[in-house]
Structure 1
């Protein structure tokens, strides 16, 4: 009997390759007055550290990792904080590793959940792992360009060394370990009493659904990940959300026990090894809602799921109570710059300057300058400064609409024959602006449905060529947030 996802369990001193990595000249910020821990702490990025010695440890180049769960083929804005944390470390001259849970993702982390995750098929899991791998690489490419544009030296002192993020999949080192090897390795070195004391386990044990043996052993697999990276890449730090504290401590404990075993010395419970953990606060809005949802839907980093324009609008809608905190967490603007912007905001809140700055910075960081350009262009089209759209109708060019929205889920490029003769109320349902003809008719009766600059007064009204902007464009709008864009070929 064997598991097909685990490698033989061995931990020894860091390999020669890992030692060489630690000696490489890392990329540095212009100012080295603050360590990365000081910088992150000042921004409200740190919930807890497993040891105060980590503050001293990061004064020299080190390696850190954070894991992401491949539950979908794209990450969402809730995943941005660990990615930004890795980018901060990278910018300060350290090595960042992003671990994708191709193995652990097939099991599911019980942390923060009241029920067991739905299992993914191997095919779906492979698609998700590839999608996220590509996305992480893209994030660090755009992130590097973002930092260089803002004067951060990412090349080191005269050394052309590529110290980009490493993306690894734990399936690669866990796929071949047999059940007996797993039990003789991390199983033998782990204590059930400690495992039962983890909050993620205790909460599930008292719930109606209970916890499966598979989920119970999840913390051992994550601990094994840390020990593998510690040994193979010289990785000394694991970063995760506050709900990952128990899993992180499990990894440190496994490393400590394996080192004692390999040196044939008694385990000293109070002995510290050079392995550390840091947690990020679980982010909520000022109203107590979980960060990362827009109208109940996830805000994805994949522009095919959430367009740069929608992404920009999500951050633009940040409340005054949250915007200062988000500027510190999601941008690389200095604290001094942020304080200055917030002071200006107090004198003119209607201008929403910090919200516009936040939206622009994060959109460029994730989608690059071209994505930001599309977002700003789309915003100028959908949210003109004047209260009506008459001026837009006169000046807007169809090519601008095509450039701003092509690829956006709200954008439909189609021949005029597909919409001619069809009531606008029916088009709203066909293309997802409304759930039913009844809802569309109600919006029309309330005066809430517009096509370009024209209020629709009759559910039987149709789109006619004379009302198209620049002879090609029809923008259907419900209120101020819901849009449907037709580009007529």
Structure 2
């Protein structure tokens, strides 16, 4: 592998560093121990966190020691938003979300072998810190002028709602994490998104003042789309990594729908394909855009990374089966549910006329149109051609006792749902 910093830069994963020459030297002399933190402010990580998880993995693959921190303490406070105070979640909720995030993070790193990763929770040390110790041992190293100058803090101070002391103190807690991990495990590099630059520098300054040691920060850029729209936004919200918040099928489809202008950059950022493989896919985008080879590679790699190979195989099978190139009855219920989640739908039960379902789902405008589609051989239930205008749903038509996939022609889909 080339120098890991060069690799990260080539992939578009480096926005800023505290001292590039010093960091490059430390990485070359390594291994170094590095960390990234993930706050449980939601029950799942999302696409933005995925960038950080990929960086953690690249560094571990290069031989450096990974520490993944889930913020059971900082999650109780919340990083200041650009506008408005966060609603504080209960301790029980944060504890539950902490365990969910720990399980998600664990998928991306190797916790065995000669270079095992470490998973920690900052509640373990912050909960033991008294108010007096916090003020005497930590607070004395912070200057209000510097804290007030942080972008988010300054913006909030200029707003009508202002900022609470709780959220204002977040940057100190993040600094404590870096200091504690530096003392406990020799951590000398923290990674994070570029919007966290000020918070990350908090730890650098605290370690310099408390320990007299120089440490490093590396941030990733904000990922954007070529058309200017926000990356990671869907009709349902964020691109969540938890399968119960975004099905593997919907997750796969998000990446499969990447624009030609975005897909090569996303292959660099979100996959571990070699430069040669990505160059070949870039050529395919240019010479054979209709084949969407790069998009299929991206969707397959990222879905496998997040959900595993079995889930990827299932969603690919579902994608093919929906359009008649596979057997719908072979799909497990969760995969089928994810595959039909965004389709137009209607209700149906055994004994109902199929023509009524086609009208109810909006596949045709009227019963007459439904009958014409049947007569022309263009109406299907579960990929089986409907042959009679009087045909009704049988119990066996409801896959998993609930779903019947309706198709008009080759590509127009809907679902009849018995629930």
TM-score range, shorter chain: 0.7 to 0.9
Question: Residues of 1 paired with 2:61 and 2:178: CA distance?
Answer: 22
Give TM-score scaled by structure 2 length: 0.84
Task: State the Cα RMSD in Å.
Answer: 3.4
- Map 1:1-400 to 2 at 5 A: 31=1, 34-52=2-20, 53-59=22-28, 60-111=30-81, 113-140=82-109, 160-161=113-114, 163-260=115-212, 273-382=213-322, 384=323, 389=324, 396=327, 398=329, 400=330
| Paired residues of 1:345 and 1:352 also in contact (CA < 8 A) | yes
Partner of 2:373: none
Question: Residues of 2 paired with 1:284 and 1:316: CA distance?
Answer: 17
C-alpha displacement at 1:180, in angstroms?
1.2
Which of 445, 468, 472 in structure 1 is aligned with 2:365?
A: 445
Deviations 1:119-166 (A, max 9, x none): 11111111100011111112336xx9xxxxxxxxxx9xxxx52x2321
Question: Residues of 2 paired with 1:425 and 1:139: CA distance?
Answer: 48
Question: Residues of 1 paired with 2:361 and 2:406: CA distance?
Answer: 14
Question: Residues of 2 paired with 1:210 and 1:450: CA distance?
Answer: 59
Question: Relative to 1, partners in 2 of residues 1:487 and 1:168: Cα closer, same or farther, differing over 3 Å?
Answer: farther
Question: Residues of 1 paired with 2:395 and 2:351: CA distance?
Answer: 14
Question: Residues of 2 paired with 1:485 and 1:35: CA distance?
Answer: 54
C-alpha displacement at 1:315, in angstroms?
0.4
C-alpha displacement at 1:316, in angstroms?
0.3
Secondary structure at the residue paired with 2:159? coil
Secondary structure at the residue paired with 2:52? helix
C-alpha displacement at 1:487, in angstroms?
9.5
Secondary structure at the residue paired with 1:236? strand
Question: Residues of 2 paired with 1:178 and 1:469: CA distance?
Answer: 60
C-alpha displacement at 1:291, in angstroms?
1.9
| Paired residues of 2:349 and 2:418 also in contact (CA < 8 A) | no
Secondary structure at the residue paired with 2:109? helix
Deviations 1:200-224 (A, max 9, x none): 1111111121111111111011011
Question: Relative to 1, partners in 2 of residues 1:306 and 1:481: Cα closer, same or farther, differing over 3 Å?
Answer: farther
Question: Relative to 1, partners in 2 of residues 1:463 and 1:188: Cα closer, same or farther, differing over 3 Å?
Answer: farther
Question: Residues of 2 paired with 1:242 and 1:368: CA distance?
Answer: 29
Deviations 1:50-73 (A, max 9, x none): 112101111110011111121122
Greater RCO, 1 or 2 (C-alpha within 8 Å, sep 6+): 1
Deviations 1:281-313 (A, max 9, x none): 011222223322222422221223222222111
Structure 1: which 5+ runs fail to align? 1-30, 145-154, 261-272, 412-416, 429-436
Structure 2: which 5+ runs fail to align? 342-346, 371-378
Question: Residues of 1 paired with 2:253 and 2:244: CA distance?
Answer: 16
Secondary structure at the residue paired with 2:229? coil
| Structure 1 range deviating more: 315-324 or 441-450 | 441-450
Question: Relative to 1, partners in 2 of residues 1:211 and 1:187: Cα closer, same or farther, differing over 3 Å?
Answer: same
Question: Residues of 2 paired with 1:208 and 1:477: CA distance?
Answer: 53
| Paired residues of 2:256 and 2:295 also in contact (CA < 8 A) | yes
| Paired residues of 1:49 and 1:277 also in contact (CA < 8 A) | yes
Deviations 1:384-443 (A, max 9, x none): 3xxxx5xx5xx7352x123772674857xxxxx983356889999xxxxxxxx9xx5766
| Paired residues of 2:321 and 2:328 also in contact (CA < 8 A) | no
Secondary structure at the residue paired with 1:445? coil
Give TM-score scaled by structure 1 length: 0.73
| Paired residues of 2:405 and 2:413 also in contact (CA < 8 A) | no
| Paired residues of 2:248 and 2:303 also in contact (CA < 8 A) | yes
C-alpha displacement at 1:346, in angstroms?
1.2
| Paired residues of 1:108 and 1:116 also in contact (CA < 8 A) | no
Secondary structure at the residue paired with 1:176? coil
